[in-house]
Amino acid sequence: MPVDRLSSTFAALADPTRRAILARLALGETSVAELAAPFSISPPAVTKHLKVLQRAGLITQGRQAQWRPCKLEAAPLQEAASFIEQYRQFWEQSFDRLDSYLQELQKQEQGKKTVRKNKKKA
C-alpha cells in the first residue's frame, strides 16, 4: 500500500534524531560524518535515519568523490506546515471564544460583587 507524502513526512519527523539531523541541515549542506558526530549511535544507525529522510523527500544525498553531502529539501516541510496551519487557525478561534466567555464570566462576577457591596452599605 503506497504511503502519501504527508504521512511519510510526519513519520520521518516522529523521531528526535531525524529532527536534529534536519535542524543541522537547515544550516547548510554537510557530510554524513558531520551529521553523525553529535549522536551516540552507530554509523549504520545514522545511515538508516538518513534513508528514512530520503524516502520522505526531506533530504537529498549527493556524491562528490568520497564526500557524500546531504542537503535539506524543504518542500515536504512546507506541505506539513500548511496542513498544520489549518488546525492552528481552529485552535486560535477556539481560544478566542474561550477568552470571550471568560471575560463575560468576570464581568458577571464583578457585577455580583458590586450588588453585594451596595446591599451591605444599605
* Listed residue (51, 86, 84) closest to 68, CA to CA: 51
Cell numbers found for residue 94: 477556539
pTM: predicted TM-score of the whole model, two decimal places: 0.72
Interval 33-88: pLDDT, tens: 899 999 998 888 999 999 999 999 999 988 877 778 999 999 999 999 999 998 88
CB 39 within 8 A of CB 8: no
Going by C-alpha positions, the residue among 57, 28, 52, 23 that lies closest to residue 38 is: 23
